[in-house]
Structure 1
Amino acid sequence: WAVFPVFISMLGIIATSFVIVTFVRYNDTPIVRASGREMSYVLLTGIFLCYAITFLMIATPDVGVCSLRRIFLGLGMCFSYAALLTKTNRIHRIFEQGKKSVTAPRFISPASQLVITFSLISVQLLGVFVWFAVDPPHTVVDYGEQRTQDPMTARGVLKCDISDLSLICSLGYSILLMVTCTVYAIKTRGVPETFNEAKPIGFTMYTTCIIWLAFIPIFFGTSQSAERMYIQTTTLTISLSLSASVSLGMLYMPKVYIILFHPEQNVPKRKRSFKAIVTAATMSGKLTQKGGDRPNGEVKTELCESMETNTSSTKTTYVSYSNHAI
């Protein structure tokens, strides 16, 4: 039963390691810088942990293994979705601020983003430490339907003493981050695609939500099955691996493809000022307001002409934000 989860995890670990090596090697190229190097490495760490947890879940239970399961079970997802939530929140705040003024919002620097991300991750770690204090990890033998009156002939399964409720609580915070990130992805879906990676993040979150919606009935629907532990472990590990694969495939494989096979596209883009972001936010708002009254093509043409007029009429130099991934 463990062959398929291990196979997926091995492929995922190899692919994630390849992406990390590629990003490190081309660390100073425009595509890597534009994707937000610091946050990318945090997200890749989370993806790696999501794959690696499979080996802890199938290992022979003892106090050490049970302790590591508690720590890393939700940590990989927490790393991933804390990073994605911070990214989408940043995009949302930048364009919301751009609709109000030309002043950049606070806490959009890479250092600020790392502080926010690790603050979110620390909540998960705090919850795990509380879990350790309230209920120290240990193993139990689950006899299930194989319990007999004669203890010498009874056969059971050695497992970590983690109830379904404890498991859901461990994953609950990460799922909350995932849902919140999906909400922000929906809010930023109308942002011009030339300014950010909100759309790939959106597709990633929609797909991930579908995976976990399928996970819940399968996981809890096997509560009375004789093969309950094996089915639940397989379902959980495959769901984690699929979630990691979605993030890796949608967010990083296109970048790696361009870096390796189309280096001519890996060139610096035109520098963006915050004024340009303000203009894009304003035009996006106007497009939303006028879209219901006029044909789509007519509205876009009018707004494009308006943007060109505004661009040609101003000669003011603004501070560049090209070093910050948007």
Structure 2
Amino acid sequence: MVPVFNASLHQYNTFGLHAKAKVFVEARSVKDLIEILEAKEWKSLPRFILGGGSNVLLTGDISALVIHNRIDGIVETAADEEHVRLHVGAGEMWHDFVMYCVSKEYAGVENLSLIPGTVGAAPMQNIGAYGMEVKNVIETVEAIEMETGDLRIFSNQECQFGYRESIFKKELKGKYIITGVNFVLNKIPQYHIEYGDISKTLEEHGVKELSLRAVSNAVISIRRSKLPDPAQIGNAGSFFKNPEISLGDYERIKSKYPEIPGYPTDLGVKVPAGWLIEKSGWKGYREGQVGVHTRQALVLVNYGGGTGDQIRMLSQKIQDSVESKFEIRLTPEVNLV
């Protein structure tokens, strides 16, 4: 819990940006966290919580107390013949948690393999992939109110989960620090392999009998083929949300672009943002040390030496371009700071 002043955040964000924190401190337990929040020498500073740094764009230095959440641990709190309950520290790496569940044959998160970031970020973003969203396996979320240091337990309903949304990104943004998440997983798996290329990949892998490990391996294989490794090229995965538009707007666009993909929802049609960006001519575009990935137009990249502000400006150009062409304004999935 030793503070570092004017600390580099280069290794704490997957874009690999060279932003700095006025004060940087790690919290490895709830006790650490409360002591940090109560410390008089930092009371005047705003607080900024940093987990895995996989869904954040640092557009400049952070003139704040940056708290790096390292609260880890996985504890099985209850079980019966069909379900198991797990308490997981917010600083635990998400993929490590998924691998734990797969190894124990606890079902419900296998389709979310290889998503970067921490367990604490999972409910904040309501992460999802290949037909699964984390809201479906979360029972409660434990968080500390930064102003008072009080612990509050949020029920699934109180989290107000939506598409890549939660109460922690809306009215409670910046007010709470998630310390732990309580999950309910299944001992009897229900496989979801109808999304994306999972079935095709399972066939390519020669899988004859389904298992959580086989599904997880298929998802990992697909993600590695489509998304760049942040260790090789700085990125935060999908930069924009897939927009949901009305059926009327979808039909309007489809009359001009018959090949546009769309997925029906309760409110209309969800359109892949990557398709819109690619059709607007941005795939593979490069501007100095930043650009749009050559294989996946949804991913903005830092080739090395780029700045967060350059990526922000590029993202705005893409938003303007897509809106001009399709009358759809893309919304960032990544948090701009």
Bigger relative contact order, structure 1 or 2 (CA pairs below 8 A, ≥6 apart): 1
**Higher Cα Rg, which structure:** 1
Higher-helix-fraction structure: 1
Would the TM-score normalized by the shorter structure come out above 0.5? no
TM-score range relative to shorter protein: under 0.3
